[in-house]
Amino acid sequence: MTTTTVPARTVTTCDGCGIECTNKNRSRSGTMTLRADQLDHQGTPIANGGGIYDFCDHCVSLVMAAVLEVIAGKCREHRT
Ligand SMILES: [Zn+2]
């Protein structure tokens, strides 16, 4: 009888497309921390509404482009 111990394996899944992240498709270590309060019906903060998200290289590029568009002011149309 032989006993083999297999070390635990941590699997990270992309929160964008759902693929398993590997060294090949997650070389940029894409992670986004979003902080925003959840509000009750009166507008009072009641809980953490953000989260921490992991992304593959493809999805982190999409997230970065989207965030940069918002920062550049491309979503200011809603202010009218
Ligand atoms: Zn992805």
Amino acid in position 2 = T
Residue 76: predicted pLDDT = 75
C-alpha torsion angle, residues 30, 65, 77, 43 (rounded to 10) = 0
Q: Which residue has the higher pLDDT, 79 or 38?
A: 38
Question: What's the 74 CA to ligand 1 centre distance in angstroms?
Answer: 24
Residue 61: strand pairing partners: none
CA distance 7 to 73: 48
In the predicted structure, residue 80 carries a pLDDT above the cut 70? no
Question: What's the 25 CA to ligand 1 centre distance in angstroms?
Answer: 8
CA distance 9 to 7: 6
pTM of the model: 0.77
CA distance 76 to 68: 13
Question: Tens of pLDDT along 8-60?
Answer: 999 999 999 999 999 999 999 999 999 999 999 999 999 999 999 999 999 99
Residue 25: predicted pLDDT = 96
Residues 50/34, Cβ–Cβ less than 8 Å: yes
